[in-house]
Amino acid sequence: MKPAANPQTGDTTKRNKRWVYLSLAPVIIVFLALSAFPVLNLLGLSLFKVTWQDGSAIYDFVGMENYKYLFNEEEIYWAGVRNTLIFAVSVVTVQMLLGFTMALAVMRAGSFGRPILTGIFLLPIVIPPIVIGTMWRLIMGREFGLINGLLSMAGLPTVDWLGNPDIALGSIMLVDIWHWTPFVFLLMLAGLESLDTEVLEAARLDVTSFWQEMRHIVVPMMLPTIVITVVFRIILSFKVFDEVYLLTSGGPGTSTEVVNFSIYRVFFSQDRVGDGSAMSVVTLFAVALMIIVANGLIQRRSGNKGGEE
């Protein structure tokens, strides 16, 4: 048997290098053009006052004026910031408690029809948010809504869920809790089920009560998953927009104004491009800072833990 010479020799190294750059190029181009450049664009726009005349834009350089206005006078935005913070902290707290409790119950006692259950819990996550908004608009409607229908059938007074400034934000939070608790549940359940069962069984012999087991065993073991979920759910709840748009459009007054809605309102309804850009820039950098800090904390935590063991 005589060996056949390889027709291609030696140039593989060069071709391999070329592939590395070619395969990354599309992703890098897309990121640069559509996510990095827009940030620069916003930074630029935020220094101008844009007015419209006969369908064409006129740019006047105003320096930091838009930022001054934003920090001193833009009440909608700061109402939005306040509401967003209240919203994020409250919904994530409830979602975590509820999701963790359900996951714990299912892990310890089981449930019947797991595949069907999982399917149902996936529904709110995958159907379009606008559909969820539509649904709840129909359910919480003042005159023809399902809840008020049921209330009046029971002879109780009806409630203006979305029109009453005192409860509108609460109603939106209720929808968000409904929307995202299943996700937390599925995550927590997956986390609990991946814990080492032998450790759990060994621990069960050492503890005397359910609360001891929770406090000293289950929660500490789940802590990394819990921390990551909480942090990222909070950051992601800053993205809320679709439901607010459809349910209350920020109203009544500014009672359900959230940051994203303020940006949309200023940018698109009021055509204040400069102000909207300044708002976007401030929000962008605030959230980015939060992400970087949170990420750093999580990395350090896991790093320390690795060192101890």
Partner 1 sequence: MAEVQLNSISKSYGATTVIDDLDLTIESKEFVALVGPSGSGKSTLLRIIAGLEDISGGTIQLDGRDVTHIDPSDRDMAMVFQSYALYPHMSVAENMTFALRMRKAPEAEVQKRLDQALDILGLRGFEDRKPGQLSGGQRQRVAMGRAIVRQPSVFLFDEPLSNLDAKLRARTRLELRELHDRLGATSIFVTHDQIEAMTMADRIVLLDGGKIQQVGTPKDIYRSPANRFVAGFIGSPEINILTGPLTRDGDELKLNQINLPASKARLKQLEAAGSIGKDVELGIRPEHFEVLKSANDGSLALTVDAIEFTGQDVFVVGQAEGANITLRMDLRRDGKLAESLARGTVLHLAPTKDNWHIFDIDSGLCLTRG
Partner 2 sequence: MSVRRLSAGRLFSNTLVWGYAFLILGPMVWVLSNAFKFQIDILTGKIFAPFTWRNFEQLLFSRQSNFLANLLNSAIVATASTLIVIVIATMAAFTLARLKMPDWIRWSVLGWALLFHMLPTLTFVGSWYQMFAAVGLHGTYFALIATHVVFNLPMALFLMMTFVTALPEDLIQAARMDGCSNGAMFWRIVMPLVRGGLIATSALMFIFSWSDFAIALTLSSTDTMTAPVAIATYAQEYEIRYGEMAAGAAMSMIPALTLILVGQSFVVRGLLAGAVK
HSE-up of 271 (CA within 13 Å, CB side)? 9
> Would you state the structure tokens that stand for residue 187, as one six-digit string?
């995550």
Closest CA relative to residue 287, chosen from 251, 235, 243, 215: 235
Q: What distance in Å separates the CA atoms of residue 42 and residue 39, rounded to the nearest whole number? A: 5
Contact between 255 and partner 2 (CB under 8 A)?
Answer: no
Cα three-residue angle 29-283-300, rounded to 5 degrees: 80
Does 121 bind partner 2 (CB under 8 A)? Our answer is: yes
Stretch that binds partner 2, among 63-71, 133-141, 156-164, 300-308 (CB under 8 A): 133-141
- What is the chain's percent helix, strand, coil content, to nearest 5? 75, 5, 25
Among 10, 55, 115, 155, binds partner 2 (CB under 8 A): 115
Return the residue of 47, 70, 102, 173 that touches partner 2, per CB under 8 A: 102
Smallest distance from partner 2 to CB 115, Å: 7
Q: What are phi and psi of 24, to 5 degrees?
A: -90, -20
Q: Which tokens is 17 given?
A: 């290098």
Question: Cβ closer to partner 2: 15 or 166?
Answer: 15
Q: Is 3 in the site for partner 1 (CB under 8 A)?
A: yes
Closest to partner 2 by CB, 166 vs 271, is: 271
What does the alpha-carbon distance between residue 284 and residue 279 come to, in Å, rounded to a whole number?
8
Stretch near partner 1 under the rule CB under 8 A, chosen from 2-10, 126-134, 162-170, 254-262: 2-10
Residues between 12 and 71 with contacts to partner 1, criterion CB under 8 A? 12-13, 16
| Partner whose binding site includes residue 10, from partner 2, partner 1, none (CB under 5 to 8 Å by kind) | partner 1
Distance of closest approach, residue 133 Cβ to partner 2, in angstroms: 8
CA angle 141–143–145, rounded 5-degree value: 40
Phi first, then psi: give them for residue 99, nearest 5 degrees: -65, -40
Q: Which part of the chain contacts partner 1 (CB under 8 A), choosing from 6-14, 44-52, 69-77, 154-162?
A: 6-14
User: Cβ neighbours of residue 33 under 8 Å, at least 6 residues apart?
Assistant: none
The yes or no reply on residue 6 touching partner 1 (CB under 8 A) is yes
Q: How far is the CB of 57 from partner 2 (least distance, A)?
A: 9
Q: Which range in 1-9, 74-82, 175-183, 299-307 contacts partner 1 by CB under 8 A?
A: 1-9
Phi, psi at 72, each rounded to 5°: -105, -35
Which SS3 state, helix, strand or coil, does residue 160 take?
A: coil
CB atoms within 10 A of CB 291: 14
Q: Which does 45 bind (CB under 5 to 8 A by kind): partner 2, partner 1, none?
A: partner 2
Residue 229 CB, nearest approach to partner 2 (Å): 8
Query: Of 159 and 228, which CB lies nearer to partner 2 in the complex structure?
Result: 228
277 touches partner 2 (CB under 8 A): yes
Shortest distance in whole angstroms from residue 48 CB to partner 1: 51
Beta bridge partners of 51: 58
Which spans of this chain sit near partner 1 (rule: CB under 8 A)?
A: 1-4, 6-13, 16
